[in-house]
Structure 1
Amino acid sequence: MKIMELPIEFELNGQKNYINPSLIIWKNELTLVDTGYPDFLPLIENEILKNGYEMKNLKNIIITHYDIDHIGSLYDFKEKYPLINIIASEVESKFISGEMKSERLVQAEEMIEDMPIQEIEFGKWFIQQLKKLKHVSIDEKVHDGDLILDNECRVVATPGHTSGHISLYFPSLKSVISGDAAVKENHELGIANPQFCLNVEEAEQSLRKIKDLKAENYYCYHGGIFTL
């Protein structure tokens, strides 16, 4: 088994940005963790192909949580690769499938009421982007402690950033894919975007939880690989 970082560079609001979806390679099968913003499918495909892998071997997509930069291209992947198996926590699956209004949209609508005038335009744009996201059914709903990918990967519930956020622990690789439960900043692990965490206390507990796994490599969606 191998985990590979897929660094994606893009421009947002006139600034260079980066995200780092992960690709898990196991027995010639590929599993993608998170799908970037809307219209990022070609960027992610190119990165996978550039590393010598074939899209026909993409079997699973794991979503760590409902946020536009993590699920933005999920619908496009499912449309293009309809046999793909989509995995998410039971909590997040309700938002991704449209069964419930997403926590992030509820938060954005509440925040805009108290935003400074100069930020309201961006707030409205962000709300529209969330509303435009297409719903996708989840094939496999997971919970804390579940073993997936032939028991090589353990699901770790890491709520705080969102209530159903999950991280992925690979004991044999001594590695964690953290989603937004951790960010690599200033050569250490911290909480990703605390101002947008739905519960900062829970986010701090979740960060401690994955640190306590004593992994050697933490694959952070924002910031890249943190190696102890």
Structure 2
Amino acid sequence: MSQLIPSIKVLNLNIPTPTGNSPIHPVLLHDEDGYTLVDTGMIGQFAELQATLEELNVPLAEIKRVIITHQDIDHIGNLGALLDAIQGLEVWAHADEIPYLTGAKPLIKFTPERRAMLPAPVLALADQLLMQLPEINIDRTLADGDILPLQGGIQVIHTPGHTPGHLCLYLGEQQLLLAADELRVVDDELVGPAPPATPDMPEALRSLKKLTSLKMDKVLCYHGGEFIQEPEKRIAELSEKSEA
């Protein structure tokens, strides 16, 4: 866990892989009315998520809402468990993700091949989550350009490509971009979305242009963590390369 400012904490959860742990980074925001969790971690990580929150002295009951940046199972993996544990928890997501989050359409990337990669206990939890999806209510539908009443105003940026309703969140007062999977940090360098996990790569690359006008000191990527070395310049470079 790291702290960007006192009201913004970056969680560090680990997905076991054949080559070691792969860290992912949900974000916890603290405002006057309680906490907002941006993404929920991978299926099977609820105990780790809960332990991390306990280390921060954050009772589950004080989490008021979850913002889902997109439908991938390492982002929605603990959504069902959180809804079971927290009465009145709100779920916010982009309109284009709602059919997937509510089970009306199958998750785009949870293919038979992806299922076969999961250990049996995790697969059982995944199937449990899929059964829960039709019961999930989306309390706030997010749209490009929305300003959320959190952290002095968070701008919603619709960045489709990685999934249809993928979101980045821009915290203007802090000049911080929560990039979800639109950007990654790989070997200390900021790079674009992972091609194997991005069904519409041309659209995802076009989405980068939406980020080039933002003033920022720091980018937080779900995969790779923080990037602070002239992020505006680097995003401009990535956007220019995508147009070449």
Q: TM-score, normalised by structure 2?
A: 0.80
Counterpart secondary structure, 1:103: coil
1:103 corresponds, among 108, 112, 116, to 108
**One-letter identity of the residue aligned with 2:203:** E
| Contact residue 163 and residue 198 of structure 1 kept, 8 A | no
Q: Distance in 2 between the 1:120 and 1:196 partners?
A: 14
Q: In 1, distance between residues paired with 2:123 and 2:15? A: 21
- Give the drift of 1:129: 7.5
Partner of 1:66: 71
Rounded Cα–Cα distance in structure 2 between residues aligned with 1:187 and 1:81: 37
Identity %: 27
Instruction: Name the structure 2 match of 1:45.
Output: 50
Q: Assess, with a 3 A threshold, how the Cα gap between structure 1 residues 46 and 123 changes in structure 2: closer, same or farther.
A: closer
Could you tell me which of 122, 126, 133 is aligned with 2:129? 133
Q: 1:160 to 1:85 in 2, by over 3 A?
A: same
Equivalent position SS for 1:133: helix
The CA deviation at 1:42 is 2.0
SS in 2 for 1:137: coil
Q: 1:144 maps to what in 2?
A: 144
Tell me, yes or no, if structure 1 residue 29 matches structure 2 residue 30: no
Please tell me whether residue 122 in structure 1 is matched to residue 114 in structure 2: no
Output one character per residue of 1:65-84: Cα deviation in whole Å (capped at 9) or x when no partner.
00010001100000111311
> SS of 1:172's equivalent?
coil
8 Å Cα contact 1:179-1:221 kept in structure 2? yes
Alpha-carbon distance change, 196 to 71 in structure 1, aligned in 2, over 3 angstroms: same
Alignment of 1:174-189 (within 5 A): 174-189=175-190
Look up the equivalent residue of 1:5 and give its one-letter code: V
**Quick check: 1:20–1:220 contact (8 Å CA) kept in 2?**
yes
| Secondary structure of 1:39 counterpart | coil
TM-score, normalised relative to structure 1: 0.85
Give the whole-Å Cα distance in 2 for the aligned partners of 1:128 and 1:9.
Answer: 19
Root mean square deviation of aligned Cα = 2.6
| Equivalent residue, structure 2, for 1:20 | 25
| CA distance in structure 2 between the partners assigned to 1:120 and 1:221 by the alignment | 22
Flag the 1:204–1:44 CA change in 2: closer, same or farther, 3 A.
same
Give me the whole-angstrom Cα distance separating, in 2, the residues matched to 1:180 and 1:208. Answer: 15
Task: List runs of 5+ in structure 2 lacking aligned partners.
Answer: 1-5, 231-244
Which digits, 9 at most, give the CA deviation of each residue in 1:135-188, with x for residues without a partner? Answer: 122111111011113561111101111111011111111111111111112333
Question: Is 1:218 matched up with 2:219?
Answer: yes
Structure 1 residue 26: Cα displacement: 1.4
Confirm or deny that 1:89 pairs with 2:94.
yes
C-alpha distance in 2 between matches for 1:43 and 1:123: 18
Q: State the one-letter code of the partner of 1:178.
A: A
CA distance in 2, matches of 1:3, 1:160: 27
Shift of 1:103: 2.1
Structure 1 residue runs without a partner (length 5+): 113-118
3-state SS in 1 of match to 2:215? coil
